[in-house]
Amino acid sequence: MKPEKVWDMGEYISWTPGKLALFKKAFSKAVNEEKEVFSFEGHDFLVAYAKYLIEYLSYRFNGH
């Protein structure tokens, strides 16, 4: 039996409106370059997931 793979995310990202703005720029660059994955603060993000993360964080930062 193979040992179970463990994926350790390491550190978490604390989000602020300013950090979200930088994330949006990195996301836009990845979209323009037709990448599926991009890095932000040492973490890899799927472009498809990042789209929803941006929507969620924008919603939260707008008082919801």
Q: What are phi and psi of 31, to 5 degrees?
A: -65, -45
**In the chain, where the domains are located:** 17-61
Checking if the pLDDT of 5 tops 90, the result is no
Checking if the pLDDT of 51 tops 80, the result is yes
pTM of the model: 0.81
Binning pLDDT at 50, 70 and 90, where does residue 9 land?
low
Checking if the pLDDT of 39 tops 60, the result is yes
Outline where DSSP puts E strands in the chain. 37-40, 43-46
Q: What is the pLDDT of residue 13?
A: 84
What mean pLDDT do residues 13-37 have? 96
Whole-number Å distance between alpha carbons of 9 and 12? 7
Checking if the pLDDT of 6 tops 80, the result is no
Tokens of 30: 């990845």
